[in-house]
Structures are given as C-alpha cells and as structure tokens.
Amino acid sequence: MFTLVEHALRFHKWSRKDKSAKCDALFTGNSEDVVIGALFEIPSSEKGPLDRAEGLGFGYEEKREPVNQIV
C-alpha cells in the first residue's frame, strides 16, 4: 500500500460514452489530504494500448508524483 500526499480522491469526471463516473487523484496542495492505494506495474509494451483506452490527452494527462510506502 502507498500514500499520495496533497491529493484527494474525487469522482468529478464522467464518461461521455456510458455516463459512468471516473475518479482522479486531484492535487489539492493541502498536506492533510492523502490518497491511499496500490501500485501496479505493467509491461512497457502495454502502456500505449492502455493510454489509448483511457484517453490520454482527452480528459487526463500523465503525471509522475512521489508516493510513500505504508510499512
């Protein structure tokens, strides 16, 4: 498990295709906001298809953030 500080989990996006809610780890800048989650590693060969399926550049952008491992 990992934490992402200064972010809050928000369901503030929606799919135009099926109208379902989409969640995002939204940057808040507030050190009291923390998102707890798991990280998964995918093969680099699967990144392109995943980005296309998720709509990279159309509703979300790639961003790298430091995370803290929960011990």
Smallest CA-to-CA distance from 7 within 53, 24, 17, 22 is with 24
Q: Please give the chain's pLDDT, 71 residues, in tens.
A: 999 999 999 988 787 778 888 888 999 999 999 999 999 999 999 999 999 988 888 877 898 999 999 87
pLDDT at position 12 is 83
State how far the Cα of 30 lies from the Cα of 47, in Å rounded to an integer. Answer: 31
pLDDT at position 15 is 78
Q: Note the Cα 40 to chain centre separation in Å.
A: 12
Structural domain range at position 29: 2-69
Tally of domains within the chain: 1
pLDDT at position 36 is 96
State how far the Cα of 31 lies from the Cα of 13, in Å rounded to an integer. Answer: 23
pLDDT at position 71 is 75
Task: List the beta bridge partners of residue 10.
Answer: 24
State how far the Cα of 2 lies from the Cα of 29, in Å rounded to an integer. Answer: 18
